[in-house]
Structure 1
């Protein structure tokens, strides 16, 4: 089957390739899907570029993709509640990855919402999990005010909607061209960069309860806005420890999906919540662009541009 991998650090055009690899098969507690669409991981783009060298030491070739959607074609031992031919979305194990492929084994999944097409579903699980994991850690709830830095990206757009669904007031940073888009998702928009603290104070005179950083590069300002580094969580800034900020990433897992290591446990409950909100018309997955597997390098380049509004996906 075809699968996307990168062979070394370097420019996407030089190291991202479509490889022919053996098909995976569902083990106990897993299902396999014929993939219709899968998400491009911004974190894996940063790994490939070398930006994450201090935090992640990859083995090459590095198989990519964490979340996908497709049609069930294998069911592992002990799995109930799903049938051959069902349309589902979900994620594979952190150890296996490989969702950017023709077939993928899922360790966690849910039925594909009827309101979402394949592109939305293929890019949903990772963003929903990341957003839920961080909002849970920050204990965002009704009556809170949360600042989401980088609110127009793949995770940010989902975090805005999930925070709003919890009853929070959401302030989101993005370029001006995305402000009306953020309003449509339920956020009060503002620009990032110089003067951010003053703009946030004008929008939230009583302060913010939590800050979710999806962009990186502004932690000193975000800590000052929050008033306490413990009220800031980033998924994008590897300098977090130097600022006393928690860098949240999904816990690695073994081939059975069991969590290992000390990273944050995956928010598995996010999948059922996403289905509920999607069915109610309260959660959509904005897709910035969809590329065929053969154009994965171009998808990486778009991600690196930081101009993608929403999720970038690969389609089969």
Structure 2
């Protein structure tokens, strides 16, 4: 037997239970991974609440979780390229990563470099590939001024650093308390809330040559809450705005809505891991919870004051 998160009805975090289930066996082309760590994501909470029922219908009892890092424990028929005991970073397409064992196609995992911690590795699929997609969508180029709304959240923390790595000057909106974190990544912090448009314009004007540059070139919205309209107010062209949170605004204003599905799979995981090894990407881990406290992990995430990622540790 193995432990896994299950829920049997839509609802809040109280419906989540950690139960014993039969250990899954890999089929042809699959591997079983002993999970060391996984992470929690806002989209998973929306699936569990039923908010995304039309897009992601659920059959009960349901598991959850996409991101994981762990050790290859069993090989299915025909599997090549990995060995028992290999440490890997991967993702589940069947909402099953919040468990002590997970079965996935072998192409869903990549090697975990020694320099990447289990907790860092466990954050890369949902948030990391979403950020990659958003940065690509707004076509960041060297010399651009890019604004990222929600700059210290799970996706935002990746997006600001990836945009900077692409050569942009990045302005990140966040709580005033998180300004030092953004500065440590080389990001210009701006407090969100009333008057944010004025503060962003002031931040642009204060940049070297900012007065002549004319404003913001691209905008990534990880929050919603009117940020698409803010980007348009700042004069950003619709084709250089990407939102992962406000799909109604994307349809209304003709801006992009590229996210995880456009971010790529295993290849992107390997690229992100390489950036960590190079020192070009820092993954802030806000809090680590044992699997048995998964409901608390989601409650903490829902407070929206998380810097980076919330991680579940299985061992």
TM-score by length of 1: 0.87
Q: Distance in 1 between matches of 2:253 and 2:53?
A: 19
Map residues 104-143 of structure 1 onto 2, 5 A cutoff. 104-107=102-105, 108-143=108-143
State the Cα distance separating 1:179 from its structure 2 match. Answer: 0.6
The 5 Å alignment of 1:127-276 reads 127-205=127-205, 206-218=214-226, 219-240=228-249, 241-251=251-261, 264=262, 266-276=264-274
The residue number in structure 2 matching 1:3 is: 4
Superposed displacement of residue 245, structure 1: 3.1
Measure the CA separation in 2 of the matches of 1:78 and 1:170.
Answer: 46
SS in 1 for 2:260: coil
Q: How does 1:25-174 map to 2 (within 5 A)?
A: 25-53=25-53, 55-93=55-93, 96-107=94-105, 108-174=108-174
Per the TM alignment, residue 29 of structure 1 is displaced from its structure 2 partner at its CA by 4.0
Separation (CA, whole Å) in 2 of partners of 1:235 and 1:308: 18
Question: RMSD in angstroms over aligned alpha carbons?
Answer: 2.1
> Does structure 1 retain, via aligned residues, the 8 Å contact 2:286–2:307?
yes
User: In structure 2, the residue corresponding to 1:202 is in which secondary structure?
Assistant: helix
Alignment gaps of 5+ in structure 2: 206-213
Counterpart of 1:286 (choices 277, 284, 287) is 284
What is the CA-CA distance between 1:79 and the residue it aligns to?
4.0
TM-superposition CA deviations, 1:26-52 (whole Å, max 9, x none): 344443210000011211112333444
Quote the Cα distance in structure 2 between the aligned partners of 1:201 and 1:53. Answer: 39
Shift of 1:265: 6.0
Counterpart CA distance in 1 for 2:253 and 2:49 is 24
**More deviation, 236-245/59-68:** 236-245
2:295 to 294, 297, 303: 297
Q: Give the number of aligned pairs.
A: 301
Deviates more, 1:178-187 or 1:98-107: 98-107
Q: In 1, distance between residues paired with 2:219 and 2:312?
A: 30
Quote the offset at 1:55 in angstroms: 4.5
C-alpha displacement of 1:267: 4.7
Q: CA deviation at 1:135?
A: 1.3
Greater Cα offset, 114-123 or 56-65: 56-65
The offset of 1:66, in angstroms, is 0.5
